[in-house]
Chains A and B, each alone.
Chain A
Amino acid sequence: MEHLEDPRRGGPKKPGSPDVKKKELRAWGVERWSLLLVVLILLGIWELSHRAGAISGLFFPAPSIIFETFSRLIKNGKLAEHLYATLVRVLLGFVIGGGAGTMVGLVMGWSARLRVFFDPLIAAAHPIPKIATLPLIMVLLGIGESSRIAVIAIATFFPMLINTMAGVRQIPTIHFDVARNYGATLLKTFTRVIWPGSLPMILTGVRLALNIALLIAIAVEMVASQEGLGAMIWLAWQTLRTEELYVSLLVISILGIFFNFLLQRVTDSLVPWKTDQEI
């Protein structure tokens, strides 16, 4: 009977068929190699123009000097110290704020009544740049670690809430009908429909929130901290050690790339039914 199955639609798609995967990989390979090549050429031009004295070493220290500084900061442990401080803040703030945002988002997505009540509050609070709340938070919580984490938590709360809520709301009614028709309890409706149905959007929220957390952490550290990548940038600027500035920027960008890479992996394993679609 299988041969009668809808030939126009190309039959069933088996996931990860070797042909398709290989082709994709090869395309990626070429893209990545050419990107690397372009970067290397640009770095080469930079290095050479520095050595020829064409650009100022103060504003544009040569790549070799930046790299030297990089390895020096790794060796003396200063970089690890700052990086650790930032990471702890980002993760703590994200877990507290993002966790709360997810829970509120799930409930608000589910209950129209709560949504009507809380939506105006969210709409009013959401557009405030969260970094602007830092002074107020410091008045409330004092000048210390808890204030810094609180600002990050507030900043991650909103994207998580809004994405989670949208995730619940975009679940088609038919899925709830099926669950009801088969006699699903409230708990089963949550674990088998609402949670998996909104998970792709929640993970999009995680990605957004983590990037925002990093951004806010750096900003907070610039104005109100002695350690952390933001503080490192600020210190480097005050002492005009440009090469350290470049190192911090490099580390932050690597961190951002690492977060996104990690999340892509997590997404692939948590929502296997969406791997070949947008997330």
Chain B
Amino acid sequence: MELICQDMTKVYQTRNGPISALEKITFTIRDNEWICIVGPSGCGKTTLLRLVAGLIEPSTGSIRYSGEPSNGTLRSALVFQEHGLFPWMTVLDNVAFGLEMQGMAKRQRHEHAQAFVEKVGLASFAQNYPHELSVGMRQRVGIARAFVANPPMLLMDEPFGSLDAQTKLVLQQELLRIWKDHPKLILYVTHDIEEAILLSDRIFVMTGHPGRIRNQINISSTRPRDLSCKEPDLMEIKWNIWKILEEEVRKSLGVLM
């Protein structure tokens, strides 16, 4: 499936007049391509995900999906930062949620879900509730839930934003591994430049207030990548993005150089 956004804007009406969250967003994302979006906070990254997910409508412009799956199947699944799991469902039921909404019978969906629960290393926690898991484990459940539903597109909103560095690293590798087995178009919001470089095929660097895509940076080196001195190209990219973001953050904070 391809995702094509054309001149998309999103304006919110507030008491102090309209506020433009996104302006002139235009891009095309190919099938199974992994895009990371980085930008200063409040640049409309989350708004962009919600637009693509169809939870909100763009003010102007259009979103198109070419080669969409047949009617009735899921187009996209969102993975939220931390609180996306239902606290009243066991790990297994959480993972099976997407299948349940598609009307799959209990036994069948539990079988599918169980396979993915094992794939993310939580086999012995299938019957536990989310509050009994660590934050990292919960995030794996969220990822398993999205993959089990098997949409052609995954929308991830800083899924590892609240994890410590080690756990984050492990989960990034897991996510890459699962994505290789089950390729999908991924739109991944993060504020972590290194994460973006490690994971994506292409990085969108956004400006703040209103959000625009300022640069699109291709990353062609093969995965798994390494951000040590072994790959000077990647270090170079990191510095470039860092400089752009610094400028944007200063602008959005109103600080002069």
Interface residues of A (CB under 8 A from B): 1-2, 4-6, 8-9, 11-15, 172, 174-175, 177-185, 188, 192-193, 196-197, 199, 271-274, 276-277
> Which of A8, A11, A178 has the most chain B CB atoms closer than 10 A to its own CB?
A178
Taking a contact as CB atoms under 8 Å apart, the answer to whether B128 and A6 are in contact is: no
B170 on the interface (CB 8 Å rule)? yes
Residues of A contacting B97 with CB < 8 Å? 178, 182, 192
A-B contact pairs, 5 of them (CB 8 A): A12-B133, A15-B129, A181-B53, A181-B77, A273-B129
A-B contact sample (19 more), CB < 8 A, given A178-B80, A193-B86, A272-B129: A4-B166, A4-B167, A9-B135, A12-B133, A14-B132, A15-B132, A177-B78, A181-B55, A181-B76, A181-B77, A181-B78, A182-B97, A182-B98, A182-B101, A188-B100, A192-B86, A196-B89, A273-B89, A277-B131
CB neighbours of B170 from chain A (8 A): 1, 4-5
Distance between Cα atoms of A182 and B103 in the complex (Å): 11
**B83:A172 contact, CB within 8 angstroms:** yes
Which residues of the partner chain A approach B86 to less than 8 Å between Cβ atoms? 175, 178, 192-193, 196-197
Interface string of B159-177 (1 = CB under 8 A from A): 0000110110010001000
**How distant is B117 from chain A, measured CB to nearest CB, in Å?**
14
Which residues of chain B come closer than 8 Å to A1, judged between CB atoms?
121, 170, 174
Q: List residues of chain B with CB within 8 A of the CB of A2.
A: 121
Closest chain-B Cβ to A19's Cβ sits at a distance in Å of 16
In chain B, positions 119-160 with a C-beta closer than 8 Å to chain A are 121, 125, 128-137, 149
- The answer to whether B84 touches A178 (Cβ under 8 A) is yes
CB neighbours of A271 from chain B (8 A):
88
Q: Which A-chain residue is minimally distant from B81 (CB atoms)?
A: A174
A12 and B132 in contact, given A178-B80, A181-B53, A181-B77 (Cβ under 8 angstroms): yes
A1–B55 Cα distance when bound, in Å, is 35
- CB pair B78–A6 under 8 Å, yes or no, is no
Question: Known contacts A177-B55, A181-B76: does B101 contact A5 (CB below 8 Å)?
Answer: no
Whether B51 is near chain A, meaning CB under 8 Å from some CB there, is no
Shortest CB-to-CB span from A147 to chain B, Å, is: 40
Contact, CB under 8 Å: A6 / B101:
no
B60 at the interface (CB under 8 A from A): no
Distance of B101 from chain A, by nearest CB (Å):
4
Query: Are the CB atoms of B77 and A9 closer together than 8 Å?
Result: no
A177 to B: closest C-beta gap in Å: 6
Query: Helix, strand, loop or mixed for chain B's interface?
Result: mixed
Q: Give the residues in chain B near A197, CB-CB below 8 Å.
A: 86, 88
A6 engages B164 (CB within 8 Å): yes
In the complex with contacts A4-B166, A181-B76, A196-B132 CB distance below 8 A: no
Residue of B84, B101, B164, B167 near A183 (CB, 8 A) is B101
Q: How far is the CA of A2 from the CA of B125 in the complex (A)?
A: 12
* Cβ contacts under 8 Å, B132 to chain A: 12-15
Interface residues on B, range: 35 or more
A-B pairs, top 9 by smallest CB distance, nearest first, are A196-B88, A273-B129, A182-B101, A182-B98, A181-B78, A6-B134, A184-B101, A183-B101, A273-B87
Q: Is B74 an interface residue (CB 8 A)?
A: yes
Note all chain B residues with C-beta closer than 8 A to A276. Answer: 131
Determine the distance from Cα of A199 to Cα of B89 in the docked complex, in whole angstroms: 13
Q: Which residues of A contact B129 (CB under 8 A)?
A: 15, 272-273
CB atoms of B84 and A174 under 8 A apart: yes
* B102 contacts chain A at the CB level, 8 A cutoff: yes
With A5-B136, A271-B88 known to touch, is A183 a contact of B83 (CB < 8 Å)? no
Beta-carbon contact of A188 and B101 below 8 Å: yes
B134 touches A9 (CB 8 A): yes
Q: Are B137 and A5 in contact (CB under 8 A)?
A: yes
Which B residues lie within 8 Å of A272 (CB)? 129
- Please give me the residue from chain A that is nearest to B130 by CB atom: A273
Query: Could you tell me the distance between the alpha carbons of A216 and B79 in the complex, rounded to whole angstroms?
Result: 49
A5 to B134, CA, bound (A): 8
A15 surroundings in chain B (CB, below 8 A):
128-129, 132
Q: Which residue of A lies closest to B149 (CB)?
A: A182
Chain A residue with Cβ nearest B82: A174
CA distance A14 to B124 in the complex (A): 11
Q: Contacts A181-B55, A192-B100 known; A11 to B88 CB distance under 8 Å?
A: no
Q: Tell me the smallest distance from the CB of A212 to a CB of chain B, in Å.
A: 27
Residues of A within 8 A of B83 (CB): 172, 174
Given contacts A181-B53, A183-B74, contact A273 B167 (CB under 8 A): no
On whether the beta carbons of A273 and B88 are closer than 8 Å, the reply is yes
Please pick, from A12, A185, A192, A273, the residue contacting B134 in the complex, using a CB distance under 8 A: A12
Query: Which residue of B has the minimal Cβ distance to A196?
Result: B88
Q: Contacting A180 at CB < 8 Å: which of B55, B164, B174?
A: B55
**Cα(A196)–Cα(B93), bound, Å:** 13
What B residues does A184 contact at CB under 8 A?
A: 101
Minimal beta-carbon separation of A62 from chain B (angstroms)? 51
Chain B residue with Cβ nearest A200: B88
